Amino acid sequence: MYSFWLGTSTLPNETYKSIYIFLQKIIKIFSHYGFTITHIIGDGQFEIMDTSKIWECETFNIVRNNEQVPEVECYIRTIKKSTLSVLNSLPFKKFPNRLLLEVVYSQVFWLNAFPSDHGISKLCSPHNIMTGSGID
């Protein structure tokens, strides 16, 4: 499962073709809403990919295997904690995969529904900035 600031998506597999298609989709979404991607940070999985086939960005940074990107790791931890809090409140011992995915989707949705103190706007949420629609 790969997360980006707009939302979450699952990949059918982790082949390079699936990752290329996923990245192209993300770039199209951000371009549609007027954003220009200038920096992409990836892990070792992106090392042998030819990025010029997908996008033209100023910086494509691949971190080493034992390195992490603090902002991304913090966001992932936040999603995991909020997902676990929902799952722990449910009266089940086992969860179908689909339920787990839907809980993750809903947590990312609600995290993006409110403005962030460290975001590009203190008044508009990431969801509002990207889609142009607010939560009613």
Predicted confidence (pLDDT) per residue in 31-68, tens digit: 888 888 777 777 777 777 766 666 666 677 777 777 77
pLDDT band at 20 (very low <50, low <70, confident <90, very high): confident
pLDDT band at 86 (very low <50, low <70, confident <90, very high): very high
Domain ranges of the chain: 2-131
3-state secondary structure the chain: CEEECCEEECCCCCCHHHHHHHHHHHHHHHHHCCCCCCEEEECHHHCCCCHHHCCCCCEEEECCCCCCCHHHHHHHHHHHHHHHHHHHHCCCCCCCHHHHHHHHHHHHHHHCCCCCCCCCCCCCCHHHHHHCCCCC
Indicate if the pLDDT at residue 6 is higher than 60: no
pLDDT band at 3 (very low <50, low <70, confident <90, very high): very low
User: Taking the model in full, what pTM does it have?
Assistant: 0.72
Q: pLDDT per residue over 106-127, tens digit each?
A: 998 888 888 878 777 888 888 8
Fold classification of 2-131 is: Nucleotidyltransferase; domain 5 (3.30.420)
- pLDDT over 90 percentage in the chain: 15
